C-alpha cells in the first residue's frame, strides 16, 4: 500500500468507487459520470490534501485532510473500495496520512468522525491512533434519517 497524488487518469477508478452504495455519500455531489469523477479529483487542490491509496498500480481508496484552520487542525476522511476492505489498508493509509500531516504540513490536531452504526470505520480510526472523544447526536442526515457520529482525534504529540 502506498499513497500518491491523484491524477486525471484516475477518474475511471473514482467513478467505479462511488458506485458502491456505501461510498455515494462520501462525495459532496453525486459522482455518476466520468466528468463528475474528474471534477472530484480537480476539486481537491485548494480544499485540502487528498491522496490516492494504491496497491500495486491499482487505486483502492482515498485519504484526505481538509478543513485546515488557523489553529493547525484538520479534518481527516478515508474510504477503501469494498474488494480491498478488511485488510488493514484504510488504517495504514490513515496513519500514513496523519504522519504526513504532522511532519510535512505541520498540523497539530487531526479530527475525524464516523457514524456510530459503522464499527468498521471506528476500528480504522482507533488502529490509526485516533482516540474517541465523544458522540455528536443527530449530526448527519442521509435520505431523511439522522445518524449520531463518534468523533476521534489524534495530536502530533500523541505516541
How wide is the angle at C-alpha 2 spanned by C-alphas 152 and 27, nearest 5°? 55
Specify the CATH class of 2-112 in words. alpha beta
Where do the DSSP E strands lie in 1-157? Answer: 2-5, 48-55, 58-66, 73-80, 109-115, 131-142, 145-155
- Contacts of 19-23 with C-beta under 8 Å, sequence gap 24+, read 20/81, 20/82, 22/82, 23/79, 23/81
Per residue in 36-92, pLDDT (tens digit) is 999 999 999 989 999 999 999 999 999 999 999 999 999 999 999 999 999 999 999
According to DSSP, residue 57 is labeled T
Instruction: Note the pTM of the prediction, 2 decimals.
Output: 0.94
Amino acid at each position: 500500500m502506498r499513497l500518491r497524488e491523484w491524477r486525471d487518469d484516475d477518474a475511471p477508478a473514482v467513478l467505479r468507487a462511488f458506485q458502491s452504495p456505501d461510498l455515494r455519500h462520501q462525495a459532496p455531489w453525486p459522482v455518476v459520470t466520468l466528468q463528475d469523477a474528474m471534477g472530484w479529483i480537480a476539486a481537491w487542490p485548494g480544499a485540502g490534501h487528498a491522496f490516492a491509496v494504491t496497491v500495486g498500480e491499482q487505486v483502492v481508496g482515498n485519504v484526505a485532510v481538509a478543513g485546515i484552520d488557523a489553529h493547525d487542525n484538520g479534518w481527516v476522511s478515508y474510504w477503501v473500495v469494498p474488494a480491498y476492505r478488511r485488510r488493514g489498508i484504510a488504517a495504514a493509509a490513515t496513519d500514513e496520512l496523519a504522519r504526513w500531516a504532522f511532519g510535512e504540513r505541520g498540523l497539530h490536531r487531526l479530527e475525524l468522525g464516523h457514524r456510530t452504526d459503522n464499527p468498521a470505520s471506528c476500528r480504522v480510526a482507533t488502529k490509526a491512533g485516533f482516540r474517541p472523544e465523544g458522540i455528536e447526536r443527530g449530526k448527519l442526515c442521509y435520505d431523511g434519517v439522522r445518524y449520531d457520529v463518534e468523533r476521534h482525534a489524534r495530536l502530533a504529540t500523541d505516541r
